[in-house]
Structure 1
């Protein structure tokens, strides 16, 4: 009888411990679980419990939310740190018109309100042209009092920030006639920039009004509101890869103008500007080596930056 009582007691203790363990696991799982909200314009991955920050991402010229998820696998680590991630389908922009800035800012604010996201720790970033959008829309939001979603930090990933440089580089590429991707892109860029702004030789002012940065005139007026905002500038200046694959000089690379922008902003007294060059990190999701990739961003370190660790 005594032995039976002991066995029953052991059984009860084991069951109790197992239940407590399962309850703890359930609580932990619930704490880090995401609610997925899929809309036509965006995808939102929102922690079910406490939200430590909001990360808004813009893809490169043809990228939508699915492309961002594939090339920049940030969702798992964001979930572990209770950070909401908003993936925007807004793309195909090398500059923003004033009406586009207003519409986009209003849409972003509405998404944040509708989904009850906190506004005190917002970070905005993007790859390639998405980085251009990130800087320009952040500058617009900070400068407009009717919006209360001011970002704490903004980052770009190898973005084409200088429109004059793009025009001149495209002219060089067409003269070289070296690689088909380069020829196609340069032809399109000359047509697009030329039809909208003309040749920068004739009126560089039109370019200055739209570009993030114009190196030849040291113009940064379109991000002047971000003087107290944390800024990160990621790039992978692999001159050998660009020379072998595109016959491009360093002065034709995004990396050159990104570095010059960091130097210019630091001299102008911007609060926190980090220039982050990488080495051999640029690979596409399919394994293709390409320094112009989301992969140059250290995701863990980025999350720590957002959480200010």
Structure 2
């Protein structure tokens, strides 16, 4: 069992930082942005951008998107837009409770093309080389009807006069980072509710959570620009809940059954032996990163497979 003891004063400072961290804000530059090398050169004025072969209202349309994001972003999505390159922005989505993505941070780089809003934005996922969802590829590709990277009904596709960046981000959160991502795979939704389909879904979600733990470590070791302190504060504050969830999973709780604070939801299901072993095996790496953050001052590192009899 891993125990956590942190400084209450430092924790309060981290919590205050997260409370004050604006859901939408602008930054000067994005040198590490996936689309930084595409589109307009850095530091072009808005006047220049208006006359670079783009639609007449291109700048106004993007500024309108900024206003919508500033007023309507949910508390689990944060966005930074670039003042010197208004065609790019970065978003982070916090994984929701009840999903195998809980407590994780998932980053996306976005670009408004020259012909926006006639065409949808481009989206790149910070994968860290991990495939955590059928819709999120190791290469960073995001597969979604709304951005024309997958087929879909007319109302599911990008509608130039109706679709918004806010809709796109909320769709990624709700449709991709969901409770049962296995059924996102084309055709698999037909098996939803069947014993075999639910069994495969459970196995997939268990693997996803382990990949989510690895994504946490990747984010802590290499936080994206302009979110460095956000990443550190987020995992400092949530380290308690993450460790409690991992301990519960080691003891057999099914993935996604742990509420914030480590409270188990009532369920008869049990996590698989493979899942319990995998969580136990990788947990030490996660705890070590929490130690590096200062979130854990003392830890019993008996988290190896040998410390737990399965």
What TM-score does the superposition give when structure 2 sets the normalisation length?
0.25
**Structure (1/2) with the larger helix percentage:** 1
**Structure (1/2) with the larger strand percentage:** 1
What TM-score does the superposition give when structure 1 sets the normalisation length?
0.25
Task: Compare relative contact order (CA 8 Å, sep 6+) and give the higher one, 1 or 2.
Answer: 2
Query: Which has more radius of gyration?
Result: 1
